[in-house]
Structure 1
Amino acid sequence: MRGTMIQHTPMPSLDEFAALAEQAWQAMPAGFREMCGSVVIRVDDFAEQETLDYFGMDDPYELTGLYHGVDLSQKSTLDSATLPDQVWLYRKPILAEWQDRGDVKLTDLITHVLVHEIGHHFGLSDDDMHRIEDEA
Structure 2
Amino acid sequence: MVEITDTDFELLVTAELDALPDAIVENLDNLVIAIEDIPEDGSADLLGLYDGLALTERGNYGFGEIPDRITLYKNNLQAICNTLDELRDEVHITLVHEIAHHFGIDDARLHELGWA
Bin for the TM-score computed over the shorter chain: 0.7 to 0.9
Q: 1:36 aligns with which of 20, 28, 46?
A: 28
Please give the root-mean-square deviation of Cα atoms over the aligned residues, in Å.
2.0
Q: Supply the distance in 1 between the matched residues of 2:94 and 2:56 (Cα, whole angstroms).
A: 21
Q: Supply the distance in 1 between the matched residues of 2:61 and 2:104 (Cα, whole angstroms).
A: 19
Q: Supply the distance in 2 between the matched residues of 1:18 and 1:88 (Cα, whole angstroms).
A: 12
What residue is the counterpart of 1:117 in the other structure?
A: 98
What residue is the counterpart of 1:53 in the other structure?
A: none
Cα offsets for 1:31-86 (capped at 9, x unmatched):
1100122321110101113xxxxxxxxx5211100001110111123566211111
Q: Supply the distance in 2 between the matched residues of 1:117 and 1:38 (Cα, whole angstroms).
A: 14
Compared with structure 1, are the counterparts of its residues 40 and 16 closer, same or farther at alpha carbon in structure 2 (3 Å cutoff)? same
Q: 2:107 aligns with which of 117, 122, 126?
A: 126
Q: Supply the distance in 2 between the matched residues of 1:78 and 1:70 (Cα, whole angstroms).
A: 10
Q: 2:55 aligns with which of 58, 62, 72?
A: 72
Q: Supply the distance in 2 between the matched residues of 1:41 and 1:78 (Cα, whole angstroms).
A: 20
Task: Report 1:86-105 matches (<5 A).
Answer: 86-99=69-82, 105=86
Task: Report 1:12-91 matches (<5 A).
Answer: 12-49=4-41, 60-78=43-61, 81-91=64-74
Q: Supply the distance in 2 between the matched residues of 1:94 and 1:23 (Cα, whole angstroms).
A: 16
TM-score by length of 2: 0.87
User: For 1:73, what is the secondary structure of its paired residue?
Assistant: helix
User: For 2:70, what is the secondary structure of its paired residue?
Assistant: strand
Moved over 2 A (4+): 77-81
Instruction: Please list every run of 5 or more consecutive structure 2 residues that lacks an aligned counterpart in the other structure.
Output: none
Q: Is the 8 A contact 1:46 1:93 kept in 2?
A: yes
What is the count of residue pairs matched by the alignment? 114
Instruction: Please list every run of 5 or more consecutive structure 1 residues that lacks an aligned counterpart in the other structure.
Output: 1-6, 50-58
Give the stretch that moved more between structures: 76-85 or 12-21.
Answer: 76-85
What residue is the counterpart of 1:3 in the other structure?
A: none
